[in-house]
Structure 1
Amino acid sequence: MSSLSVMLTGAAREAAERHVPTLVQEKFASRLFAKDHTMWGAAAEDEAGKRLGWVDAAEVSRPLVAQINELRDSFAAEGVDRFVLAGMGGSSLAPEVITRTAGVELFVLDSTDPVMVQAALSKDIARTAAVISSKSGSTVETDSARRAFEKAFADAGIDAARRMVVVTDPGSPFDESSRAAGYRAVFTADPTVGGRFSAMTAFGLVPSGLAGVDLDALLDEVDEAAEALREDDPDNLGLLLGAAMGGTSPLRDKLLIQDLGSGIVGFADWAEQLIAESTGKDGTGILPVVVAQDVPELKAPVASDVLPAFLVPVDADTVPDGDAVAVAGSLGGQMLLWEVATAVAGKLMGINPFDQPDVESAKSATRAVLADKPEQTAADLVDGSVEIRGDAGLLGEAQNLTEALEALLQRLPADGYLAVQAYFDRLTWAELEEARPLLAKATRRPTTFGWGPRFLHSTGQFHKGGPGVGVFLQITAESDTDLEIPGIPFTFGELISAQADGDAQVLSEHGRPVLRLRLKDRETGVSQVLDVLHALAQS
């Protein structure tokens, strides 16, 4: 018997009652686990046919466990017990939640901010190994990190190849080049699994296992959940959760995810990228909004386009009030549950949950910025430590930071959302996440917070391909620290700046209002921004 549970009330229960009988009749669950790629429509068949390996990934990945444990032991014998993972999107978010929940150390480098990169490179390099995860090896963030680690190891007198572990697709250019370079270990993952569904493939398991996670126990949790989730049963929790997510009428397309003691650390961040990137396309989508304890959006009355989802302890038996979802279970079980539910939601919404048609646009814009290296445009306004830039017509008569923010908020539709995007070191400046509840209080609308560039590989798809009701606050910062990228004609500082520029450009081309703040000094700039946001929240 699985420890998973899903409790639905109000509109969520009504959606399940309306859609689950049909899903059972169509044998959706058993066909999904049989990898039937025809269930999302003719236009999705080609992509779905190449992306359903996740349904049995735990079973397929079992032989990896012994290999990972053996490699960990051999590293330990050499005094290497610190692991840095360079990966983006699902290939970094899954190991992050797995290791944090297990309470073991893993440095997740999913940033191009030079301060964060420097921290990954300089701390305890003598006992460090780098795991570079990329399906092709061409992802700019991971390729840059690989180059930087090779140099850092060499500068420390360490054989770089002996400290490099690669996770990639079989036969990829990265697979071939890594073997040719003599890297310590090269693991290949099932190429029929997309990045955001890859938690139980080598992408999720290799860095987690090297860091010390009990992988057999994790895979056991997935296997236990799979037994129930593959059944064509009206009590199938994957069908129930998926129907609640994608089947409300009208669609409650903002899913506020709050952890109320699930014991799974950071799970909402992983679910955010899974749901946003899978559903945010064709002008529709479900926007996950990760919230902590201060949740202005859930203060009565709750907006009619919002569906609260609570992550609760396994022994929880209290049904949530109003229109809501409450989910409990083990980490492995919940990962598979939410993956199934996302596939269900995609079917009910009439979209292909396995592609990401708008992710490449920001990458292309970044490449163009790096190639052209245009001069930075003059700020429209300067207020203290903050340079302010806005789309044509956005700022109006604004004279300072407060008025610029007010001008952005005035563009927020009644059914819209606000996305805060912070392009700098998320470890040192975690306090900037206070911006989310402050702006939610000021607007009473769903507000998200994403660290750049990592969100580009998750919610970035929703921002461009989902409903055109978002407004965007981009925060970047100058730095006294910069790092060369060996063999590349730009630095990490130039790269992260180009990523922010490119994303803002694409958002503007899609008609999304973007207010850009560049902090001339990180400490005083962060303080100034938060002070202004506190005042806006109070007013």
Structure 2
Amino acid sequence: MADHPGEVAATINDQRLSEEASPLIDQLVADAVASRLTSQDHTLWGEAAEAEAAVRLAWTTLHETSRPLLAEIDALRAELRAEGVDRVVLAGMGGSSLAPEVITATAGVPLTVLDTTDADQVADALAGDLENTVLVVSSKSGSTVETDSHRRIFEVAFRELGIDPGSRIVVVTDPGSPLEELASGYRRVFQADPNVGGRYSALTAFGLVPAGLAGADVAALLDEAAAASRVLSQDTADNPAFVLAAALAGAHARGAEKVVLADTGSGITGFGDWAEQLVAESTGKDGTGLLPVVVESPEAPGFADAGEDATAVAIGATGGALSTSGSLGGLILLWEYATAIAGKLLGINPFDQPDVEAAKKAARALLDNPTEQGGTGQSFVDGPIEVYGAPDGVTSLGEALQVLTGAAPEFGYISVQAYLDRIADASAAVLRGELARKTGLQTTFGWGPRFLHSTGQYHKGGHQNGVFLQLTGAAEIDIEVPDRPYSLNTLQLAQAAGDGQVLSGLDRPLLRLHLTDRAAGLAHLVHTLAEVAK
């Protein structure tokens, strides 16, 4: 951590990386990129990006413009506490959930985050103390299917307890969204800044309202960002945003297209998950980009042994080829600046997400007209696992895994996508390290459908060298979505199948494993991996 609130730093710990970054830093200084970005110059990324950038740069001054929210959040929290309402549940996806989760986890205050369509996980949230619960429904577009489903389900649950749902639902959305239009009877509607994209929204109402209601000191967060802004807006060679952006872009130019993130004592909980969306969605397009790989520790496979295709970045003062340190508010702003600047150096527009909608469209089509999931029939059954999409002639789980991982090219990557309960099925995350260790390939892990709002853009728009392992599972229960012709289980499987169809349409190797018994299936999968030779 830095010594003073808001202090931020980016340090290059590798001589070659320093040499690669140096001319790029000089270029950024000469072009006055930091001051132009701070003043919201929408011409920085070229003519093709100007229209999008013109309505996406208000995040550079949020440490000032978000101040009026603080009193409103404090007042609402006091009202709710006076009524005995002290449990906060957040329904949101992507930028609407990742930032509040990091903020509250770092502050050590409880926040129940629903960024899932898993019926078991939603049921656990419903089983909490609803008598003392407020639901924050957070959606920039106002039409996010997962969040809308949560809202409908909780409305019914509140009503069944004799609680007026309107008194227990708080909305965060953009002005004029469909959600704002239907929320007139809810406890409070917070309008977010429409000139800030979702992944840059940590210091808007999307980050501050749920975190503040949960009890985090969001005023201090803005103070930290304000202090960092004074450094990040300077056109100097030691500007941490220039250092970070130039190092990542310089390494990418020689083929290091992956950014491996490990925490090395930052004191911040889960920062990598937030940065993952920021970097992947901002840069992963036009067949290029930086793929974030969030690992469990500095000792985990993929970090200390990062190869030519990856840059190891420590979240903390030491470690890796590159390290960043500072307060949470300062680091949020540092990574936002650096990611936007890296987009300029990579020649892409860091504010659009042209490939995110493809999986959503495919999922909606499957909900409207259900077909065999994923477009691939069941290949075989191996114990408590149904295997879908294995090549003809493959008859065992071990062989199917070998064929999948063997299809990755040199410097490719493996993406594990678990459409499961990320609390009850948390053990699935060990697959990342096991596959990375077995194959020597950089390996990512994402909970579905949460990752669709994060690395999902890179999978379709970035470097096309990934192979994909989908995990779905039988749920113990199901929950109907009120006034919708589907249940959570149906929606969850449609999301997996829809994304699978899009990836298969891009000729990316994909294998889906359906766990007929989740605990037994995960144990069988881990055991099989242990038996598979590298």
TM range (shorter): over 0.9
CA RMSD of aligned residues (A): 1.3
Is the 8 Å Cα contact of residues 119 and 489 (structure 2) preserved in structure 1?
yes
Q: Which of 77, 83, 86 is the aligned partner of 2:82?
A: 77
Secondary structure at the residue paired with 2:183? Answer: helix
CA distance in 1, matches of 2:16, 2:282: 22
Q: Does 2:335 align with 1:338?
A: yes
**What is the match of residue 230 of structure 1?**
233
- Code of the residue aligned with 1:433 in structure 2: it is A
Is the 8 Å Cα contact of residues 264 and 315 (structure 2) preserved in structure 1?
yes
**What is the match of residue 202 of structure 2?**
199
For 1:481-517, what per-residue CA distance to the aligned partner results, in whole angstroms no more than 9, with x for missing partners?
0001000000000000000000000000011110110
**What is the match of residue 429 of structure 1?**
425
In structure 2, the CA distance between the partners of 1:265 and 1:25, relative to structure 1 (3 Å rule), is same
Q: Does 2:434 align with 1:438?
A: yes
| Per-residue deviation, 1:137 | 1.6
Q: Which of 256, 267, 272 is the aligned partner of 1:252?
A: 256
Structure 1: give runs of 5+ residues left out of the alignment.
none
Q: Does 2:27 align with 1:28?
A: no
**What is the match of residue 529 of structure 2?**
533
- Code of the residue aligned with 2:370 in structure 1: it is K
CA distance in 2, matches of 1:199, 1:480: 35
How do residues 337-486 of structure 1 correspond to structure 2 at under 5 angstroms? 337-376=334-373, 378-390=377-389, 395-486=391-482
| Per-residue deviation, 1:124 | 0.7
CA distance in 2, matches of 1:400, 1:299: 33
Is the 8 Å Cα contact of residues 418 and 472 (structure 1) preserved in structure 2?
yes
- Code of the residue aligned with 1:361 in structure 2: it is A
CA distance in 2, matches of 1:173, 1:489: 20
Is the 8 Å Cα contact of residues 304 and 312 (structure 2) preserved in structure 1?
no
Is the 8 Å Cα contact of residues 395 and 408 (structure 1) preserved in structure 2?
no
**What is the match of residue 314 of structure 2?**
310
Secondary structure at the residue paired with 1:471? Answer: strand
| Percent identical residues | 54
Is the 8 Å Cα contact of residues 246 and 344 (structure 1) preserved in structure 2?
no
- Code of the residue aligned with 1:53 in structure 2: it is A
Structure 2: give runs of 5+ residues left out of the alignment.
none
Secondary structure at the residue paired with 1:373? Answer: coil
CA distance in 2, matches of 1:303, 1:475: 27
Secondary structure at the residue paired with 1:297? Answer: coil
CA distance in 2, matches of 1:128, 1:413: 49
- Code of the residue aligned with 1:46 in structure 2: it is A
Normalising by structure 1, we get a TM-score of: 0.96
Normalising by structure 2, we get a TM-score of: 0.96
Runs of 4+ in 1 over 3 A off after TM superposition: 375-378
**What is the match of residue 285 of structure 1?**
289
- Code of the residue aligned with 1:250 in structure 2: it is R
Is the 8 Å Cα contact of residues 295 and 302 (structure 2) preserved in structure 1?
no
**What is the match of residue 511 of structure 2?**
515
CA distance in 2, matches of 1:327, 1:424: 32
- Code of the residue aligned with 2:82 in structure 1: it is A
| Per-residue deviation, 1:251 | 3.7
- Code of the residue aligned with 1:402 in structure 2: it is G
| Per-residue deviation, 1:375 | 4.2
CA distance in 2, matches of 1:61, 1:266: 23
For these two proteins, the number of residue pairs brought into alignment is 525
CA distance in 2, matches of 1:221, 1:480: 44
Is the 8 Å Cα contact of residues 466 and 508 (structure 2) preserved in structure 1?
yes
CA distance in 1, matches of 2:310, 2:275: 17
- Code of the residue aligned with 1:295 in structure 2: it is A
Q: Which of 120, 123, 128 is the aligned partner of 2:125?
A: 120
| Per-residue deviation, 1:456 | 0.2
| Per-residue deviation, 1:175 | 1.2
- Code of the residue aligned with 2:220 in structure 1: it is A
- Code of the residue aligned with 1:387 in structure 2: it is E
Is the 8 Å Cα contact of residues 311 and 327 (structure 1) preserved in structure 2?
yes
Is the 8 Å Cα contact of residues 247 and 345 (structure 1) preserved in structure 2?
no
